[in-house]
Structure 1
Amino acid sequence: MKNKNGICPLCGKENNCAMATGADPHSCWCMSLKVPEELLDRIPKEIRGKACVCKECVEKYLNEK
């Protein structure tokens, strides 16, 4: 997912996305952690595919299951 501003669309905090910083996308934390589709569905439709969820939101979601 491409995110120009590096902000998580769910919590508004920094998402630490490698792509947002211009780093190699393969170095991003999300390459080693699967982001559940159910969580991605929570992203507002107008920014889906344009914003990355942060690791903390992914971990919180997984711990709630």
Structure 2
Amino acid sequence: MSDDSSHCPCCGQLNQCAQAGADAPVSECWCFSVPVDSAQLVKLPPEQRNRSCLCPRCAQGLPPETPPANS
């Protein structure tokens, strides 16, 4: 996974966190009010914890979205 703080350490998708890449602390973001599934945090290697936010799907313990199949 990327060390980029704008990507989810679980799935690699953009985490949509307002704090990622911000020059100053932000006062509002989706991640401030959504409970994070603790099972997701346990899956992360210790070196990836507290480095970037999970994406909304991973934070809720949902599987990553898959792109629609081309038919």
Q: What TM-score do you get using the length of structure 1 for normalisation?
A: 0.71
User: Quick one: distance in 2 between partners of 1:51 and 1:58?
Assistant: 12
Alpha-carbon shift at residue 9 of structure 1 (Å): 0.5
The answer to whether structure 1 residue 30 and structure 2 residue 31 are counterparts is yes
For these two proteins, the number of residue pairs brought into alignment is 59
Secondary structure of 2:43's counterpart equals coil
User: Quick one: distance in 2 between partners of 1:54 and 1:12?
Assistant: 9
In the other structure, the counterpart of 1:46 is: 47
The answer to whether structure 1 residue 8 and structure 2 residue 8 are counterparts is yes
Alpha-carbon contact 2:20-2:52 (below 8 Å) kept: no
User: Quick one: distance in 1 between partners of 2:7 and 2:47?
Assistant: 15
Q: Percent identity?
A: 36
Higher helix share: 1
Alpha-carbon shift at residue 5 of structure 1 (Å): 2.7
In structure 2, runs of 5+ residues without a counterpart are: 64-71
Considering only aligned residues, what root-mean-square deviation do their CA atoms show, in Å? 2.3
